[in-house]
Chain A
Amino acid sequence: MDILTYALGALSPLNLGLALVGVAAGIIIGALPGLSATMAVAVLVPVTFGMSPESALIMLGAIYTGAIYGGSYSAILVNTPGTPSAIATTFDGFPMAKRGDGDLAVTLSTLASVTGGLVGVLALLTVAPLLAQVALSFGPVEYFWLAVFGLTLISALSEGSTLKGFMGAGFGLLLSTIGVAVVGGDTRYTFGSQVLLGGIEIVSALIGLYCIPVLIDLVATPEAHLKIEEEQRGIRLREGLGLAWLGKLNLLRSASIGTLVAILPGAGGSIASLVSYSEARRASHEPKTFGKGNPQGVLATEAANNATVGGGFIPTLVLGIPGTPPDAVILGALLVQGFRTGPELFTTNASITYTFVAGLFLATCLLLPLGLLIGRYAFKSIITIPKALLVPTIAFMTVIGTYAIRNSASDVVIMLVLGVVGWGLNRYGFRPSPIVLGLILGPIAEQGFVQGFLMGRASGSLSMTFFGSPISITIIALSVLSVFYPVIKARWAQRRGRVQGDDSHQEASS
């Protein structure tokens, strides 16, 4: 097996050391809100120019893997998703941390990330050229329907009133139209301010909507941020492994969804983790505990978002179309180094490709020891640091993190405004997730729709364009199912309830 030779090549002491440093640096960068994987990779690119191509690729892959995983720390411990793909990690991770199970949540996230990452890399290694064709069959219309499907997940995500979920998503979608439009070129809803020209940056919105409300409520009471257990329980690896074994189907399903959806350039990560989260909840025997600290929720999203690392590289390496923003940076680095993507990456340049894949594999395995170690430290420092230091530290990270995304001081102001608005809305029963979902999916939905409209007008049949392809029809069917599933399930429960006697848990849909 050639691949083994390359894998052994990747295992030289120097490369091993680079991978170790890369993963550790990635975890730390990813754990800071606002510091994204994209940034970690972009900063590293000039450094790698001085290295051999193999070492450079291994290090880039390592820092990327580490950064995606590190995002789960801030999601679990401070309720702030570092990247859009970690949004769903907050749903159950933060409640777990609040009740004192933060260490367990971090352990679970590590186990899930390793599993997900390995599945993604395996897919990249074995079926990449095949899956890349799937990416190409998604045109503007399919993206439009995919975004609509993502929005129907709101009914699954909004606790309580579905109408409130729709209003929240509408708010997010409207926010996403601010700035200069890609299609049509209009300057929209800037109200004469240049600050809004560039639109609302998604990660700064994430920081604002999730982190600022936590800060606001943190200063309001003298109680500790997270509940502290008296006894020291270490990293709770045994317990975590037990839960992961219980959720092995969940893990595999989520990792597969993550890999598959990540192949679609642009939409990948965030949709992947949300879909696997709602699937985990749907498959669960106790769906009501999701969102209140169910460990399976953390397993699902973290398996999915680390699977996107390998999955995202499929279109990047096979087609030369970056699946995610960090992929774009790595692709740029490859081009500068003189490599071309395409079939030759698996033939003439196979040594580079397989070294890279082996490096990703290595980095994913390194996540386990490093993640548990750094995770334990992160958890400990969060629970032991006094509130008077915790609040300014988190606030400082939100400010510097938001600033660093686009080097823009106005983004910090926008982040704060959204944070205060988000706190207010949350108090009145509007959760941040539908808003953020609208903000992320808005551009995908809008561009897909308008491009589909132009294509349909050119071909003479709008309905064929929008409803003609089997993929579109499948996604539409899934969306309809996703909207009506709660109703159907309630019916079933009611029928069963009537047979078995009174079911007091019945929840009226409002």
Chain B
Amino acid sequence: MRVSLSHALVTGISIALVSALSTMASADEFPSHDVQYVIPFGPGGESDISARLQQKYFEEITGEQLVVQYMPGGGGAVGWSQLNDKSADGYTIMGSNLPHIILKPMGKDVGFQTDDLNNFFYFHYSPDAILVRNDSPFETLDDLIQAAEEAPGAVTLSGSGTYSANDVANTRFQQLAGVTTTYIPFKGTGAAVTALLGGQVQAEWGYTTVAANHQDKVRMLAVATEERHPLFPDVPTFKELGYDMVGGAYRGMAVPEGTPEETQQRLSDIFQQINENPDFQQEMQDLGFVLMDVPLDEMPDFMAEQRQTYEATARELGLID
């Protein structure tokens, strides 16, 4: 602690000194001091863990610290609605999550619009997956579908939240497989997996990350990736089984409105470089994440595409007309 104290004191003082000069610093030197990385959720979640993994490599590349902070509330809405109030110098970035930023503002006022977020890089996603307990009678996805066909609504699946990635995945799956299940929303992935482990639900809408964490107790019936996940070579993808489902919870970063173009590009480059680091790749893969690169110039197309997909599902969910 003593080490950290003096260290923090020094960095703190340098923040104070340098922030006064930051407006003068040009984009080539960016970053010349610590960057605040605001996670719009509480600590301990996947957004936090992946940010923590980036921290080390950010420092390696830039020589500056990436300071992780939290602004939880309203499923991310509290943070995102305040992003554009932050200083637009590139020294404040905020975690950005799909489908949250598209689904949240739909049909109601949550203090921000999807377009308000200036995303500069999307770096990974946690692929959707259907999980069951090791001793579950469902051996394959077909078993589950058959059970759902025999008694519509009797198969219960837990998941995290309403109008969330899990909810959307369930709706899409019901549509593609032509079955009806009962989706039971829980507060967070932790509570959803507890219900699965305790046998209160028959299956769970989760992610490969959940399966990676609970490998000894659960297995996956299918994952929503393009190709099989290297950590789970035996688990088929939905695509293989004939259901066109690729997706999950995507994570990236956004900057406040008005951040200079060059700074955004520089940030995008830094995070791309982190994504290219083999150590980082290995660590992310071990946790069950799937890396992807959506840099600044590809962002508009990526967002437009995602928007289209989620709008179709939102219509199905009854979120919009």
Min CB gap B53→A, angstroms = 6
- List the B side residues contacting A197 at CB < 8 Å: 73-74, 77-78, 81, 110-111
Specify the chain B residue showing the minimal Cβ separation from A48. Answer: B4
Do A181 and B198 have beta carbons less than 8 Å apart? Answer: no
- Any chain A CB within 8 A of the CB of B14? no
Question: What are the residues of chain B within 8 A of A406 when measuring CB–CB?
Answer: 70-73, 78
Tell yes or no: B308 within 8 A of A by CB. Answer: no
Mark B1-45 against chain A: 1 for CB-CB distance below 8 A, else 0.
111100000000000000000000000000000000010001111
Instruction: Report the interface size for chain B: residues with CB under 8 A from the other chain.
Output: 60
Cβ-based interface call for B184 (8 A):
yes
The answer to whether residues A332 and B72 also contact, given A139-B198, A194-B111 and a CB cut-off of 8 A, is no
Contacting residues of chain A (368-402) with chain B, CB-CB under 8 angstroms = none
Cα A338 to Cα B213 in complex, Å, equals 11
Return the chain A residue nearest B110 by Cβ.
A197
B161 — which chain A residues lie within 8 A by C-beta?
182, 185
- By the criterion CB–CB under 8 Å, are A342 and B162 in contact? no
Contacts A/B (CB < 8 Å), 22 sampled: A21-B2, A25-B1, A49-B55, A49-B56, A179-B73, A182-B185, A185-B161, A197-B110, A198-B72, A319-B194, A320-B213, A325-B42, A329-B43, A331-B44, A335-B213, A336-B53, A343-B216, A407-B69, A407-B71, A408-B73, A454-B184, A458-B182
Give the contacting residue for A455; candidates B55, B74, B201; CB below 8 A.
Answer: B201
CA distance A71 to B81 in the complex (A): 32
CA distance A182 to B186 in the complex (A): 7
Which label, helix, strand, loop or mixed, suits the secondary structure of the A interface?
A: helix
Q: Does B49 contact A (CB under 8 A)?
A: yes
- Inter-chain contact B201/A42, CB cutoff 8 Å: no
* B215 with A342: CB separation less than 8 A: yes
Cβ of B44 and Cβ of A201 under 8 Å apart?
no
What sequence of 0s and 1s flags, for each residue 37-71 of chain B, a beta carbon within 8 Å of any chain A beta carbon? 01000111100110011011000000000001111
Once bound together, how far apart are the Cα atoms of A406 and B77, in whole Å? Answer: 12
- Pair B110/A187 contact, Cβ less than 8 Å: yes
Does B177 touch A at the CB level, under 8 Å?
A: no
B78: A residues at CB distance < 8 A: 197-198, 406, 408
Shortest C-beta distance, A46 to chain B (Å), equals: 6
Complex Cα gap A137–B42 (Å): 26
Nearest CB of chain B from residue A87's CB, rounded to whole Å = 21
Q: Does B191 contact A (CB under 8 A)?
A: yes
Contact of A321 among B53, B108, B155, B190 (CB under 8 A): B190
In the complex, what residue of chain A is closest to B38 when comparing beta carbons? A407
When distances are taken between beta carbons in the complex, the residues of chain A under 8 Å from B163 are: 185
What residues of A have a CB within 8 angstroms of the CB of B53 in the complex? 336
Known: A199-B73, A328-B43, A328-B190. A458 touches B55 (CB 8 A): no
Please tell me if A443 contacts chain B, counting CB pairs below 8 Å.
yes
Beyond contacts A137-B198, A197-B73, A319-B217: 20 other A-B pairs, Cβ-Cβ < 8 A, are: A18-B1, A42-B70, A45-B52, A135-B194, A136-B198, A138-B198, A180-B77, A182-B185, A192-B109, A319-B214, A328-B44, A332-B45, A332-B48, A335-B49, A335-B213, A408-B78, A447-B187, A451-B184, A455-B184, A460-B154
Q: Which residues of B contact A21 (CB under 8 A)?
A: 1-2
User: Is A342 in contact with B154, judged by CB distance below 8 angstroms?
Assistant: no
Chain B residues engaging chain A, CB cutoff 8 angstroms: 1-4, 38, 42-45, 48-49, 52-53, 55-56, 68-75, 77-78, 81, 108-111, 153-156, 161-163, 182, 184-187, 190-191, 193-195, 197-201, 213-217, 283, 286-287
Is A341 among interface residues, defined by CB-CB distance under 8 A?
Answer: yes
Q: Is the CB of A22 within 8 A of B1?
A: yes
A199, B185: Cβ atoms closer than 8 Å: no
- Would A454 and B182 count as touching, CB distance under 8 A? yes
CA distance A454 to B200 in the complex (A): 11
Total interface residues on A, CB under 8 Å, equals 65
Q: How far is the CB of A253 from chain B (nearest CB, A)?
A: 27
Are B74 and A265 neighbours in the complex by a CB distance under 8 Å? no
Q: Which residues of B contact A201 (CB under 8 A)?
A: 73
Complex-state Cα separation, A407 to B83, whole angstroms: 12
Residues of A within 8 A of B193 (CB): 321
Q: In the assembled complex, which residues on chain A have CB atoms less than 8 Å from the CB atom of B1?
A: 18, 21-22, 25, 47, 59
Q: Which residue of A18, A140, A180, A443 contacts B110 across the interface (Cβ within 8 Å)?
A: A180
Scan A178-190; emit 1 where CB is below 8 A from any B CB, else 0.
0111111101000
Contact in complex: A336, B194 (CB < 8 Å): no
Question: Is there contact, CB below 8 Å, between B52 and A336?
Answer: yes
Do residues A407 and B49 form an inter-chain contact, with CB atoms below 8 A?
Answer: no
Q: In angstroms, how far is the closest chain B Cβ from the Cβ of A309? A: 16
Q: Mark A336-353, 1 if CB is under 8 A from B, else 0.
A: 101011111000000000
The complex places the Cα of A199 from the Cα of B287 at a distance, in Å, of 31
Query: Whole-angstrom distance between the alpha carbons of A341 and B19 in the complex?
Result: 41
CA distance A138 to B200 in the complex (A): 9
The one of B44, B198, B200 that contacts A332, using a Cβ cutoff of 8 Å? B44
Cα separation A180 to B74 with both chains bound (whole Å): 6
Partner of B191, one of A38, A199, A266: A266
Q: For the complex, is A457 an interface residue (Cβ under 8 Å from B)?
A: yes
Specify the chain B residue showing the minimal Cβ separation from A335. B49
Asked whether A340 lies within 8 Å of B215 as measured between CB atoms, the reply is: yes
> What is the 8 Å Cβ interface bit string for chain A, positions 109-136, against chain B (1 contact, 0 not)?
0000000000000000000000000011
Q: Enumerate chain A residues within 8 angstroms of B195, measured Cβ to Cβ.
A: 139-140, 451
Residues of A within 8 A of B68 (CB): 46
Given contacts A182-B186, A265-B194, A321-B194, contact A198 B52 (CB under 8 A): no
Residue of A nearest to B111 (CB): A194
Q: How far is the CA of A192 from the CA of B109 in the complex (A)?
A: 8
Q: How far is the CA of A72 from the CA of B109 in the complex (A)?
A: 40
Residue of A nearest to B73 (CB): A198
Our pick among B4, B70, B199, B216 for the contact of A342 (Cβ within 8 Å) is B216
* Chain B proximity of A54: nearest CB distance (Å): 16
A266 to B195, CA, bound (A): 13
A194 engages B49 (CB within 8 Å)? no
Chain A residues with CB under 8 Å of B81's CB are: 194, 197
A458 touches B154 (CB 8 A): yes
Verify A335–B287 contact, CB threshold 8 A: yes
Q: Which of B2, B44, B75, B108 has the most CB of A within 10 A?
A: B44
A312 on the B face (CB < 8 A) = no
A458 to B184, CA, bound (A): 10
Min CB gap B15→A, angstroms:
15
Query: Nearest chain-B residue to A265 (Cβ)?
Result: B194
Q: A459 at the A/B interface (Cβ < 8 Å)?
A: yes
**With an 8 A cutoff between CB atoms, is A30 at the interface?**
no
Report B-chain residues with C-beta under 8 Å of the C-beta of A338.
Answer: 283, 286
Q: Give the shortest distance, in Å, between A14 (CB) and chain B (any CB).
A: 11
Whether A341 touches B70, Cβ cut-off 8 Å, given contacts A136-B197, A180-B77, A187-B110, is no
B75 touches A455 (CB 8 A): no
Task: Give residues 293-343 of A contacting B (CB, 8 Å).
Answer: 319-322, 325, 328-329, 331-333, 335-336, 338, 340-343
Asked whether B197 lies within 8 Å of A198 as measured between CB atoms, the reply is: no
A139–B200 CB distance below 8 A: yes
The complex places the Cα of A336 from the Cα of B286 at a distance, in Å, of: 10
Chain A residues in 8 Å Cβ range of B75: 180
Residues of B within 8 A of A46 (CB): 52, 55, 68
In the assembled complex, the Cα of A325 lies from the Cα of B190 at a distance in Å of: 11
Which residues on A sit within 8 Å (CB–CB) of B184? 140, 451, 454-455
Contact: A183 with B43, CB < 8 Å? no
Cβ of A47: which chain B residues have Cβ within 8 Å of it?
1, 3-4
